[in-house]
Structure 1
Amino acid sequence: MRFRATVAGVSGALALSALVVPGAHAADSGSSSSYRADVAKVQEAARAASGKTAYTGSTGTDEGVPYDLNVTFSNFKVNGGKAITVGVSNHVTVPVTYTLTHGADVDITAEDFLNGPYLYKGSFDEPDNMLFGNAPGTCSSTSATVASCKAVIDIYPAEGELLNAHAGAWKAAGLAIAYNGEDPESEDIDLSKVGIADQGGFTSPNVQRYSKLTVNASPEPVKKGRTVTVTGKLSRANWEDNAYHGYTGQSVQLQFRKKNSDTYTTLKTVKTDSTGNLKTTTTATVDGYFRYSFAGTSTTPAVKAAGDYVDVQ
């Protein structure tokens, strides 16, 4: 399912219909070719049902309302527990593993049974944004009613899937759909014959704006006891104009390691200015490498500049 973040202020079922567009990057064969669009249709119908949701209260007897599918999810592990860093142009793939538990009446091996994870920002009922994969997950049964599953969530920042405000905390969810012979591409699909399970509230790592950090120490070479000026810049991805801009007002450590050492020590802490630039001075003592190191925030990952060597004479 492809969501355009530029209209992500819309709430409820309207948000789903407003945000969904077909997944152009999905695989070209089988259920993967239209996975995002197909599940969007069912999820939207389920959430739009008056007084009902996709996961409670529906029996499937109402026209156009999917029924509750006897499937639950657990044991989500998103991106190996590591933060999801997203730049401005590269396609980001996020691996996810999870457990699917189902009733004996649910055939998870059926060709038209699809399931997969997604990430959502904000509340589960009225998310600010969602991120899906191009293809459904794949599962291996570990018992008659339990399966171990894996999938990938695909993120395309250059296509407007994220706003800067979406950086930070997200949650994971699982979605399963049994079409039971209904054609998801048909305009006449009988959604009352389609089952859906939509379950959220699972832990996910933060989604962060990719960061960059530079350093330059001068003069090179320098006489012992003289001043070394160290400049640099901390920048991060802007998901709204697909460029990198300075990260202002952030504390960054100036660090140094001697020529034959593997260990950096912190000399001082410097703050970025209004354009993300860094500048400070220190005294030249021995040959070695200067670098800046940023510890990161909830919205921006930690980053270290490559050391810049200074020959002290």
Structure 2
Amino acid sequence: MRMRATLAAVTGALALSAVVVPAAHADDEPSTASVARTAESFAANGPLDTVIGDTKISNVVVNGGKAVVLGTTTRKTFTVSFTATDDSGIDWGQAILWHGPDFDHLDGGAVADSSDDRAVCTAVSATTSTCKSSYTVKANTDLLNALAGGWKVWALAQGTDGDYVQKDNVKGFKIQRASKLTVNAAPEPVKKNKTITITGKLSRANWETEKYAGYTDQAVKLQFKKKGSSTYTDVKTVESGSGGALKTTVKAAQDGYFRYVFAGTSTTPAVKATGDFIDVQ
């Protein structure tokens, strides 16, 4: 059986060695903020949200604000950027992507940036820097189907004066299984007011089998655009059946295009079928 490398494997030295919480100021309470977190304690407990001083993180953007959509064997590199501010300027920053109910209970692991190092922080003023990291994920080797959906960003930034901010969940984003949708209107040509059957299929990437599989029990809209028009209108809603199959009937009223439209879910992006022309005589 082929071995699969899941993101959970990255929770070892790859991710943890990149995260070292700086020691706090000497006048802070030693029982709390002044205790530096080691890789071992990070692995056992996960980081807690902490703010020491005036350091701030804002404007977190993952993949340009879009979901990360992967087909069956897609390899995708995307960026995470954030703004870090401190009155003394920014020394360094770091971001880790993770999946699970909370950082103490990762069900899919975490991944550090592709270079297994700190983010690249570029000063834009004496107090502000833009920090960026890149991440590369390959669907069929790094992901399980159960990991599709909501992911979160853990981030840390430290000022040159030792102040720092650390957040478990500073931004949410989605990693999704790519979707496909087809449509076919038949028979054609067809006489006016006769019944036509509109079939199709809704499917999505299965990262574990490296194939597309039917997406069942999903609401899909049937739409129609008359010949010469640029606008589709809703006709009815159809639920995908076994194997993602779609099937319904309508009366042939005029020449035009039928298509199915899927609005998407948290794990699967929206998709529209290419319109199929029906010739009504």
Q: What TM bracket, shorter-length normalisation?
A: 0.7 to 0.9
Residues 1:130 and 2:131 aligned together: no
> Aligned letter for 2:246?
L
> What's the CA shift for 1:278?
0.6
Indicate conservation of the 8 Å contact 1:228/1:284, yes or no.
yes
Indicate conservation of the 8 Å contact 2:7/2:110, yes or no.
no
Name the SS of the counterpart of 2:217 in structure 1. Answer: coil
- What do residues 119-148 of structure 1 show as CA deviations (whole Å, max 9, x unaligned)? 211222342222443235332213334311
- Among 271, 275, 280, the alignment partner of 1:303 is 271
Which residue of 2 is the match for residue 92 of structure 1? Answer: 76
> What's the CA shift for 1:72?
5.6
CA distance in structure 2 between the partners assigned to 1:6 and 1:98 by the alignment: 23
- What do residues 93-120 of structure 1 show as CA deviations (whole Å, max 9, x unaligned)? 3232201245859745xxxxxx443321
- Among 147, 152, 156, the alignment partner of 2:129 is 147
- Among 162, 173, 187, the alignment partner of 2:154 is 173
- What are structure 1's unaligned runs of at least 5 residues? 9-14, 21-36, 47-54, 109-114, 178-195
CA distance in structure 1 between the partners assigned to 2:84 and 2:258 by the alignment: 50
> Aligned letter for 2:137?
I
- 1:26-41 alignment to 2 at 5 Å? 37=14, 40-41=16-17
- 1:2-13 alignment to 2 at 5 Å? 4-5=5-6
- Among 223, 226, 235, the alignment partner of 1:255 is 223
> What's the CA shift for 1:267?
1.0
Which residue of 1 is the match for residue 27 of structure 2? Answer: none
> Aligned letter for 2:132?
K
CA distance in structure 2 between the partners assigned to 1:78 and 1:218 by the alignment: 43
Which residue of 1 is the match for residue 47 of structure 2? Answer: none
CA distance in structure 1 between the partners assigned to 2:232 and 2:106 by the alignment: 43
Indicate conservation of the 8 Å contact 1:257/1:288, yes or no.
yes
CA distance in structure 1 between the partners assigned to 2:6 and 2:40 by the alignment: 27
> Aligned letter for 1:152?
S
- 1:74-113 alignment to 2 at 5 Å? 74-101=58-85, 104=88, 107-108=91-92
Give the root-mean-square deviation of aligned CA atoms. 3.4
Indicate conservation of the 8 Å contact 1:91/1:154, yes or no.
yes
Indicate conservation of the 8 Å contact 1:118/1:153, yes or no.
no
Indicate conservation of the 8 Å contact 1:120/1:131, yes or no.
yes
CA distance in structure 1 between the partners assigned to 2:87 and 2:36 by the alignment: 16
Name the SS of the counterpart of 2:17 in structure 1. Answer: helix
CA distance in structure 1 between the partners assigned to 2:137 and 2:130 by the alignment: 24
Indicate conservation of the 8 Å contact 2:90/2:128, yes or no.
no
Residues 1:58 and 2:35 aligned together: yes
CA distance in structure 2 between the partners assigned to 1:229 and 1:254 by the alignment: 12
Compared with structure 1, are the counterparts of its residues 311 and 139 closer, same or farther at alpha carbon in structure 2 (3 Å cutoff)? same
Residues 1:117 and 2:117 aligned together: no
Indicate conservation of the 8 Å contact 1:227/1:284, yes or no.
yes
- 1:234-249 alignment to 2 at 5 Å? 234-249=202-217
Q: Which has the higher strand share?
A: 2
Compared with structure 1, are the counterparts of its residues 101 and 65 closer, same or farther at alpha carbon in structure 2 (3 Å cutoff)? farther
Compared with structure 1, are the counterparts of its residues 312 and 105 closer, same or farther at alpha carbon in structure 2 (3 Å cutoff)? closer
CA distance in structure 2 between the partners assigned to 1:170 and 1:131 by the alignment: 11
Which shifted more, 162-171 or 196-205? 196-205
Which residue of 2 is the match for residue 279 of structure 1? Answer: 247
> Aligned letter for 1:127?
L
> What's the CA shift for 1:5?
2.5
- What do residues 41-65 of structure 1 show as CA deviations (whole Å, max 9, x unaligned)? 354x87xxxxxxxx955348x9998
Name the SS of the counterpart of 1:80 in structure 2. Answer: helix
Which residue of 1 is the match for residue 189 of structure 2? Answer: 221
Indicate conservation of the 8 Å contact 1:73/1:100, yes or no.
yes
> What's the CA shift for 1:77?
1.5
- What are structure 2's unaligned runs of at least 5 residues? 22-31, 43-49, 159-163
> Aligned letter for 1:306?
T
